Structure 1
Amino acid sequence: MIQLKENIINFEVVVHAEKNFSQKTICTFLEAFSTINSKDAQCIINLAKTEYINSSALGMLVNLKQYLGNNQSAIRFVNANSYIKKLFKSANLDSAFPIEYQY
C-alpha cells in the first residue's frame, strides 16, 4: 500500500512507495495525487522500501512531472537503492529526476 502524507502549508506531498512500484500500485498512486489542488505542490517520493519499478510506473512518473509543470523541483526522489538509481540512469531519467539520499 502506498502511504501519502500531505503538508498543505508547504504544498508538499510525501509518498512512501512500496516494495514493488508497478501497475498494481499506479491506480492508488494516481488517486492520491488527484487530491492535489495546486500545481505548486512539491511531490517527494520516498523509495526506501522500493526494490522494483516497472516501465508503466516510470511512464506515470514522467506524466506526473508534466502535470506538475516540468519544473526541476516538482518531484523529488529520496532514499533509492543502487538498482533504482541504475534503472533511472539506463532510462535516461536520472537528469530529469535527481535522487537525493535522505529526507
Structure 2
Amino acid sequence: MTNVAVEQSGSDVTICIKGRFDFNILQEFRNAYSEHQDSGLNFTIELAETEYIDSSALGMLLNMKNHLGSEDRAITIKNCQPNLMKIFSIAHFDKKFKFV
C-alpha cells in the first residue's frame, strides 16, 4: 500500500500523506514532487489522513522547498491535525509554510 498519492489539477499539485509521515516514505515523497519541476505549479501537502510525523518529515519538507527553488513559492500544508500542528509550530514551520 502506498502512503503518498499525487493529484494534479491544472497548476495545482496535491501530495496526500496517509498514515505515518516518516523516513519510510522518503523516496515516495521525493518522487511525488520531483516529477513536477514546472515553476508555475502550486503545491499542497494534504495531511488530513496523517497520524504521525517525525523529524525526518520536517527535513523532507525543507528539502522539497529547497528542491523547488523559489523562496517565494508557497507550499501549503492543509488539514493538519492539532497534534501535528504543535510539532510544526515548535519547529517554526508556520514561518516557512502556509497552513490552511
Query: Could you tell me the percent identity over the aligned residues?
Result: 30
CA distance in 1, matches of 2:35, 2:43: 12
Would you identify which runs of 4 or more consecutive aligned residues in structure 1 move more than 2 Å? none
CA distance in 1, matches of 2:83, 2:73: 22
2:12 matches 1:6 = no
Q: How many residues align?
A: 97
- Output the TM-score relative to the length of structure 2: 0.88
Report the AA paired with residue 28 of structure 1: E
- Output the TM-score relative to the length of structure 1: 0.86
Tell me if structure 2 keeps the 8 A contact 1:21–1:57. Answer: yes
CA distance in 2, matches of 1:43, 1:85: 18
Structure 2: state its 5+ residue gaps: none
- Against the structure 1 CA distance between its residues 72 and 89, is the aligned structure 2 distance closer, same or farther, given a 3 Å change threshold? farther
Instruction: Give, in angstroms, the shift of residue 95 of structure 1.
Output: 1.4
Cα RMSD, aligned residues only:
1.3
Structure 1: state its 5+ residue gaps: none
Q: Provide the residue aligned with 1:84 in structure 2.
A: 84
